Chain A
């Protein structure tokens, strides 16, 4: 016992020495107090945080609502998961173009030290990059050099309830705080300059099947986060918390039991274990002061026998008053879903044309294979067009937006029909797309795969998987899955160009004012394409299967492209993107010589 205590203490000291020696600014903030090596006094747990002293990025001042509303207009900042509130992920940096992109080289790189998918989108402010890794490690790095400034490793329990890996997709930043939601369903606020915890609230009991994986969103003095748990029958919700205190301001349940119309859409008491998680990040329209948030699959995923009805508000987009959570309208993409077609893919708030008239629209490449266009003021359905190559679960979408389901595509007791797209999509909420206002194209990376589905007996018990079936990864097993990056014309819904990859495309996209977009593939390559033509302009072998969300920023007039690398064998294989590549995250940041 004593030996192990000494070992732990010496490890802590070594870590402290190493960090001070290499990073200069960093130090372990909570070293064991003097005298704690006495055998009678228990040692504190090993350090899990290295705080910055002196504080970093202090001169930048607090992140104001004005800055958030303008993001990403200032190229030295990338403040939101979606780049801006309308989720275009479109950088104003012009210096990356077809001529210069070939000269990109690695400026710096940093390891995550974790396995599991590295899905984050970095945030950059005040010269500091804030990035999360799998298993909720939050790192503050010098955005120009990659030097570690502070780091916080959340201590997670060993009995997490995760459907799909230890992912985290990044932080939100507001005031002088950064916010991370955790796999054990907490929301934690950190001082952006030191890394110290300002507050830490429990969203829900993870043992009931809850987890949180996505970047929160901030509007004014409220921070919003949804929740995952749709594979456990855990009731979905979206929460708003006071940014400064962590006090809950409101909660919207995605299956509100007090709503008679909602209850009518679920047989019996099935709504009580109906899932419908709000597991991705929303969008905000400042013009109409509307918060949009999407909702995922009803539970159990693949057996709808006990939940006859449309199962509201699963697989929907909700339009909400951001101050109160009051619903303005909703639209359901996949009523009575039995394929796990979460409605949680990225929403793009685009002002475009439809029927020859201007319209303030929402565009979404949905997991079910259709590209939707809605009126974002009224919620009215405008159009759905197929953006994947293979789609047969429905025979189209009617003029009210309701899919015309092929009955043969419903899960059976024994799998028969090959159904497309796969349950993971199409596109999926765990990665981003991007929009370019110049070309008018939405760029959507997707899985091209089909599966057979079978259903089975399942009983709801809190905290136990509640999926009701099993998609057989037909195409993945036969190595027939592949990937697409589709450039979809928002005005017509038609695909203008496509890049086809040998493996499903499961990493996000960033577009730039220079006409070049960046993404990455599951074969370990960072990629650049001409936004107008789809011509491949550049690639770099990062090594790991890419599951993260690239961003672009500029410091001292130099452009930087940050792209995470590192997959998770389980889901990658499930999608048909399994490979020899080992897990392990690394962020690569590329730049140009001046």
Chain B
């Protein structure tokens, strides 16, 4: 486990142990945690620009698309999050993948910071009407 991920895991565990409101242990494919205080958002303009470039270079093409009218991978800009919409949930989905689909686990392949930057880009580019 990389140091950053170890840190994140420790932070999550600590939040759970001290009974932070709403925190739960990880179950199955989803995680619900408000431990955002321990997880920087990486949402400065330079982070979002890097997140966009990684999204284009790594997540796009035959899988996700910016214009998702034609594709089978989920549209990531329509606010319809299949595996949880919080930043941590989206981070978790990217990190661990989705079993039984083409969505492989990027954890360990991409640095956690870059996965956070992808999340920040996705949220910044969302076309959600909410």
Q: Which residues of A contact B (CB under 8 A)?
A: 158-164, 231, 300-303, 413, 454-459, 461, 463-473, 476-477, 569-571, 573-574, 576, 578
A302 vs B57: C-alpha distance in the bound complex, in angstroms? Answer: 8
> By the criterion CB–CB under 8 Å, are B56 and A469 in contact?
yes
Residue interface bits B46-76, CB-to-A below 8 A is 1, else 0: 0000101111111111110111011111000
Knowing A473-B70, A570-B71, say if A456 contacts B109 (CB, 8 Å).
no
Can you give 8 contacting A-B residue pairs, CB < 8 Å? A158-B100, A162-B102, A456-B52, A467-B61, A470-B65, A476-B70, A477-B69, A576-B70
Query: Is B21 close to A, CB under 8 A?
Result: no
User: Which chain B residue shows the least CB distance to A424?
Assistant: B62
Residues of chain B within 8 A of A456, CB atoms compared: 52-58, 60
> By the criterion CB–CB under 8 Å, are B53 and A413 in contact?
yes
Knowing A455-B56, A464-B106, say if A302 contacts B70 (CB, 8 Å).
no
A108 vs B54: C-alpha distance in the bound complex, in angstroms? Answer: 50
Query: Is B10 close to A, CB under 8 A?
Result: no
User: Which chain B residue shows the least CB distance to A468?
Assistant: B57
> By the criterion CB–CB under 8 Å, are A469 and B70 in contact?
no
User: Which chain B residue shows the least CB distance to A231?
Assistant: B62
Knowing A161-B104, A570-B71, A573-B70, say if A457 contacts B62 (CB, 8 Å).
no
The smallest beta-carbon distance between A471 and chain B, in angstroms, is: 6
> By the criterion CB–CB under 8 Å, are A461 and B109 in contact?
yes
> By the criterion CB–CB under 8 Å, are B71 and A470 in contact?
no
Query: Is B110 close to A, CB under 8 A?
Result: yes
Identify 4 new A-B residue pairs, CB closer than 8 A, beyond the known A457-B54, A469-B57: A458-B57, A461-B108, A471-B61, A476-B70
The smallest beta-carbon distance between A400 and chain B, in angstroms, is: 31
A457 vs B110: C-alpha distance in the bound complex, in angstroms? Answer: 11
A524 vs B11: C-alpha distance in the bound complex, in angstroms? Answer: 55
User: Which chain A residue shows the least CB distance to B97?
Assistant: A159
Knowing A161-B104, A457-B50, say if A467 contacts B60 (CB, 8 Å).
yes
Residues of chain A within 8 A of B59, CB atoms compared: 465
Residues of chain A within 8 A of B54, CB atoms compared: 456-458
Chain B residues touching A, majority SS = loop
> By the criterion CB–CB under 8 Å, are A578 and B60 in contact?
no
Q: Which residues in chain B, 88-127, are within 8 Å of chain A measured between CB atoms? A: 97, 99-100, 102, 104, 106, 108-110
A466 vs B73: C-alpha distance in the bound complex, in angstroms? Answer: 17
Residues of chain A within 8 A of B100, CB atoms compared: 158-159
A571 vs B63: C-alpha distance in the bound complex, in angstroms? Answer: 10
> By the criterion CB–CB under 8 Å, are B72 and A569 in contact?
yes
> By the criterion CB–CB under 8 Å, are A455 and B57 in contact?
yes
Contact among B61, B67, B110 with A477 in the assembled complex (CB-CB below 8 Å): B67
A7 vs B127: C-alpha distance in the bound complex, in angstroms? Answer: 46
User: Which chain A residue shows the least CB distance to B59?
Assistant: A465
Residues of chain A within 8 A of B55, CB atoms compared: 456
> By the criterion CB–CB under 8 Å, are A164 and B70 in contact?
no
Contact among A303, A454, A465, A476 with B63 in the assembled complex (CB-CB below 8 Å): A465
Contact among B52, B62, B99, B108 with A467 in the assembled complex (CB-CB below 8 Å): B62
The smallest beta-carbon distance between B77 and chain A, in angstroms, is: 13
Residues of chain A within 8 A of B57, CB atoms compared: 300, 303, 455-458, 467-470
A470 vs B71: C-alpha distance in the bound complex, in angstroms? Answer: 13
Residues of chain B within 8 A of A476, CB atoms compared: 70
> By the criterion CB–CB under 8 Å, are B72 and A457 in contact?
no
A155 vs B67: C-alpha distance in the bound complex, in angstroms? Answer: 34
A477 vs B70: C-alpha distance in the bound complex, in angstroms? Answer: 7
User: Which chain B residue shows the least CB distance to A454?
Assistant: B56
A551 vs B56: C-alpha distance in the bound complex, in angstroms? Answer: 40
A571 vs B56: C-alpha distance in the bound complex, in angstroms? Answer: 18
The smallest beta-carbon distance between B115 and chain A, in angstroms, is: 12
Residues of chain A within 8 A of B56, CB atoms compared: 454-457, 469-470
Q: Which residues of B contact A (CB under 8 A)?
A: 50, 52-63, 65-67, 69-73, 97, 99-100, 102, 104, 106, 108-110
Residues of chain B within 8 A of A159, CB atoms compared: 97, 99-100, 104
Contact among A158, A457, A461 with B99 in the assembled complex (CB-CB below 8 Å): A158
User: Which chain A residue shows the least CB distance to B117?
Assistant: A457
> By the criterion CB–CB under 8 Å, are A467 and B58 in contact?
yes
Residues of chain B within 8 A of A466, CB atoms compared: 58
> By the criterion CB–CB under 8 Å, are A464 and B62 in contact?
no
Residues of chain B within 8 A of A468, CB atoms compared: 57-58
User: Which chain B residue shows the least CB distance to A481?
Assistant: B70
Knowing A456-B52, A470-B66, say if A231 contacts B61 (CB, 8 Å).
yes
The 7 A-B pairs with the shortest beta carbon distances in the complex, nearest first, are A456-B57, A456-B56, A573-B70, A470-B60, A458-B57, A570-B72, A461-B109
Residues of chain A within 8 A of B66, CB atoms compared: 470, 472
A292 vs B102: C-alpha distance in the bound complex, in angstroms? Answer: 32
A397 vs B70: C-alpha distance in the bound complex, in angstroms? Answer: 33
The smallest beta-carbon distance between B65 and chain A, in angstroms, is: 7
The smallest beta-carbon distance between B117 and chain A, in angstroms, is: 10
Residues of chain B within 8 A of A458, CB atoms compared: 54, 57-58
> By the criterion CB–CB under 8 Å, are A574 and B62 in contact?
yes
The smallest beta-carbon distance between B93 and chain A, in angstroms, is: 15
The smallest beta-carbon distance between B127 and chain A, in angstroms, is: 15
> By the criterion CB–CB under 8 Å, are A457 and B53 in contact?
yes
The smallest beta-carbon distance between A577 and chain B, in angstroms, is: 9
Residues of chain B within 8 A of A569, CB atoms compared: 72
> By the criterion CB–CB under 8 Å, are A578 and B58 in contact?
no
Residues of chain B within 8 A of A161, CB atoms compared: 104
Residues of chain A within 8 A of B72, CB atoms compared: 569-570
A27 vs B106: C-alpha distance in the bound complex, in angstroms? Answer: 44
Residues of chain A within 8 A of B97, CB atoms compared: 159
> By the criterion CB–CB under 8 Å, are A469 and B110 in contact?
no
A365 vs B67: C-alpha distance in the bound complex, in angstroms? Answer: 30
Residues of chain A within 8 A of B60, CB atoms compared: 456, 467, 469-470
The smallest beta-carbon distance between B70 and chain A, in angstroms, is: 3
> By the criterion CB–CB under 8 Å, are A463 and B104 in contact?
yes
Most buried by A among B61, B65, B67, B69: B61
A125 vs B53: C-alpha distance in the bound complex, in angstroms? Answer: 52
Residues of chain B within 8 A of A473, CB atoms compared: 65, 67, 70
A470 vs B52: C-alpha distance in the bound complex, in angstroms? Answer: 11
Knowing A159-B104, A456-B52, say if A465 contacts B69 (CB, 8 Å).
no
Residues of chain A within 8 A of B70, CB atoms compared: 473, 476-477, 570, 573-574, 576, 578
Knowing A456-B54, A461-B109, A464-B106, say if A470 contacts B69 (CB, 8 Å).
no
A229 vs B122: C-alpha distance in the bound complex, in angstroms? Answer: 27
User: Which chain B residue shows the least CB distance to A466?
Assistant: B58
A477 vs B71: C-alpha distance in the bound complex, in angstroms? Answer: 11
The smallest beta-carbon distance between A185 and chain B, in angstroms, is: 16
